[in-house]
Amino acid sequence: MRPPAPLKSENHLYEQVAQRVIGLIDRGILRPGDRVPSVRKLSLQQKVSVATVLQAYRELENKGLVEARPQSGYYVRPRFLPLPPEPEISKPACSSTKVTMGDLAVQVVQGQRDPSLIHLGAAVPSPELLPMAQLNRSMTSIGRRSPLLGTSYEAPPGVLLLRTQIAKRAMNQGWTLSPNEIVTTCGAQEALNLCLRAVAKPGDTIAIESPTYYGILQIIETLGMRALEIPTHPRDGVSLEALTYALDNHSIKACLFSLNFNNPLGSCMPEANKQRLVELLAKRDIPLIEDDIYGELGFGPTRPLPAKAFDKKGLVLLCDSFSKTLAPGYRVGWTAPGRYQKQVEQLKFTSTIATATLPQYAIADFLANGGYDHHLRKVRRLYAEKVQLMTQAITKYFPAGTKVTRPSGGFVLWVELAPHINSTELYHLALAAKISIAPGTIFSAKQKFQNFVRLNCGNPWSGAIENALIKLGQIIAAMNKR
């Protein structure tokens, strides 16, 4: 129920209430991360209406002093420094490219295995935020109950129990997906491969976001396709105006976008835009491959819908996985490939025959009984905090002129440095200082974003990470001075 509007006479009261809270924060009585008194409590305490307290808290929120957490209340934000500006919308070249990725992306991922490094490179979820013990227990008890499960191939479309759970989640989000429309895969990576192969041939042009996840560029490269980068806003995602222009002027075979918390931007396309995007492509009969692996990791109160929810013609091929939220090493993903389902199933069968059986059952069990939503609420909050801590440290330790994104989900930051900084050089200098980062060029088919880096915020915050950011800031400052 909406609270009633505050009385006229109380118009200044909310400011007084806000000032009291600011005083508590200033004097260190309320510290970053603390919960501020509940609306009801403060209303009783200060003898003002609930509406006044709410208004006071909204004021504090606007000032960046507190933040609302869904179903939990208001909390003191951990930072006070004014944040650096955000990068602007990207301006990629208006021509398609045969993709040729170097070894750099592979090096970044392989760096992940080196225990001597501070890992800000690969975008991996925080191990302590994954319910491995519970999942492994599920796998054990399933293997014991049904020892024959591992003896056969779960040929496409894959384990029905898991597909049913996935379909239920769509229903709970307010849209419809049938278990029969879903095909399980070896992670979202296989799903993206299969979908691209189902809709396009070598030589065809695929429209992608700019910047885009390097794994997608590698798929396009190995399939011999071409990439066309579309201007992408760091908050709202792909520019539909630019996309329309590109569609008018290029022969685009398919789009491959990550609309919810694009990696590396953390952008989220507004719902109205998603709807327009689906309509725009439907009119031209162009398939949209939607990579939604970060969709569950938004910082807002509700999970944003995938574009697939607006798909009426079966032209959206939704790809997703449990690698960012549950277990990367289980290699379980899925796709809802719309009208391309038959092709995708055949390609899946030909590529890997089936996805490993027991991991699929274990995840289905977790989804049915493990409190996935509770788990997600927790990790969303924690990733929001990690991203904020990292943003704060960048604000403190990186040279003036640095720009940084305000991701609304996921766990990476996209950082723009001074124009002349070469992030590949920075990557090597940082590596020499035992810090791994992801240089900007690997996120572009045309090696743009030379002065950008992506930083992973997934790992547990620590002094070592803070020190690494101090060191990075020093390296960048030294490069700035040359």
Q: Is the peptide bond before 127 cis (omega within 30 degrees of 0)?
A: no
Residue pair 101/445 in contact by the 8 Å Cβ criterion: no
Q: Please pick, from the candidates 21, 36, 170, 186, the single residue that binds its own copies as defined by CB under 8 A.
A: 186
DSSP symbols for 153-185 = ---TT--HHHHHHHHHHHHHTT----GGG-EEE
User: Which residue number, 96 or 189, has a Cβ lying nearer to its own copies?
Assistant: 189
- Contact mark string toward its own copies, 188..227, x via CB under 8 A: -xx--x---x---xx------------x--xx-xx-x---
Token readout for 86 is: 């955000």
At 236, phi and psi to the nearest 5?
Answer: -100, -5
Q: Please pick, from the candidates 355, 402, 408, 451, the single residue that binds its own copies as defined by CB under 8 A.
A: 355
CA distance 63 to 36: 15
Measured in residues, the chain has a length of 482
Q: How far is the CB of 133 from its own copies (least distance, A)?
A: 5
Q: How far is the CB of 272 from its own copies (least distance, A)?
A: 34
User: Which residue number, 16 or 141, has a Cβ lying nearer to its own copies?
Assistant: 141
At 155, phi and psi to the nearest 5?
Answer: -55, 160
Determine whether 321 is exposed, middle or buried from the number of CB atoms within 10 Å of its CB (0-12, 13-18, 19+): buried
Q: Please pick, from the candidates 140, 172, 180, 251, the single residue that binds its own copies as defined by CB under 8 A.
A: 140
Under the binding rule (CB under 8 A), the answer on residue 424 touching its own copies is no
User: Which residue number, 164 or 352, has a Cβ lying nearer to its own copies?
Assistant: 352
Q: Please pick, from the candidates 30, 51, 139, 453, the single residue that binds its own copies as defined by CB under 8 A.
A: 139
Under the binding rule (CB under 8 A), the answer on residue 390 touching its own copies is no
DSSP SS3 for 201? coil
- Stretch of residues binding its own copies (CB under 8 A), selected from 74-82, 328-336, 449-457, 473-481: 328-336
- Stretch of residues binding its own copies (CB under 8 A), selected from 22-30, 56-64, 254-262, 349-357: 349-357
Q: Please pick, from the candidates 200, 247, 347, 455, the single residue that binds its own copies as defined by CB under 8 A.
A: 347
User: Which residue number, 215 or 237, has a Cβ lying nearer to its own copies?
Assistant: 215
CA distance 385 to 390: 9
Token readout for 440 is: 């900007």
Q: How far is the CB of 306 from its own copies (least distance, A)?
A: 21
Q: Which residues contact 232 (CB under 8 A, 6 or more apart)?
A: 89, 90, 209, 210, 211, 238, 239, 262, 265, 267
- Stretch of residues binding its own copies (CB under 8 A), selected from 5-13, 49-57, 129-137, 252-260: 129-137
Under the binding rule (CB under 8 A), the answer on residue 351 touching its own copies is yes
Q: How far is CA 354 from the centre of its chain?
A: 27
Q: Please pick, from the candidates 164, 275, 352, 467, the single residue that binds its own copies as defined by CB under 8 A.
A: 352
Under the binding rule (CB under 8 A), the answer on residue 436 touching its own copies is no
Under the binding rule (CB under 8 A), the answer on residue 125 touching its own copies is yes
What residues form DSSP beta bridges with 256? 208, 289
Cβ atoms < 10 Å from Cβ of 202: 9
Token readout for 461 is: 């915050």
Q: How far is CA 238 from the centre of its chain?
A: 15
What's the sign of the alpha-carbon dihedral 277, 316, 367, 458?
Answer: negative
- Stretch of residues binding its own copies (CB under 8 A), selected from 73-81, 295-303, 348-356, 431-439: 348-356
Q: How far is the CB of 345 from its own copies (least distance, A)?
A: 8
User: Which residue number, 327 or 394, has a Cβ lying nearer to its own copies?
Assistant: 327
Q: Please pick, from the candidates 38, 62, 110, 462, the single residue that binds its own copies as defined by CB under 8 A.
A: 110
| Window 449 to 468, contacts with its own copies (CB under 8 A) | none
User: Which residue number, 186 or 479, has a Cβ lying nearer to its own copies?
Assistant: 186
Token readout for 314 is: 């079966």
Under the binding rule (CB under 8 A), the answer on residue 329 touching its own copies is yes
The H or E element spanning position 380 is helix 372-397
Under the binding rule (CB under 8 A), the answer on residue 429 touching its own copies is no
In the numeric block, the tokens 């606007």 are attached to: 62
Under the binding rule (CB under 8 A), the answer on residue 331 touching its own copies is yes
Token readout for 54 is: 């709410």
The H or E element spanning position 60 is helix 50-62
Under the binding rule (CB under 8 A), the answer on residue 239 touching its own copies is no
DSSP SS3 for 230? strand
Contact residues for its own copies, defined by CB under 8 A: 106, 109-110, 112-113, 124-125, 127, 130, 132-133, 135-136, 139-140, 143-144, 147-155, 186-187, 189-190, 193, 197, 201-202, 215, 218-219, 221-222, 224, 327-331, 346-347, 349-359
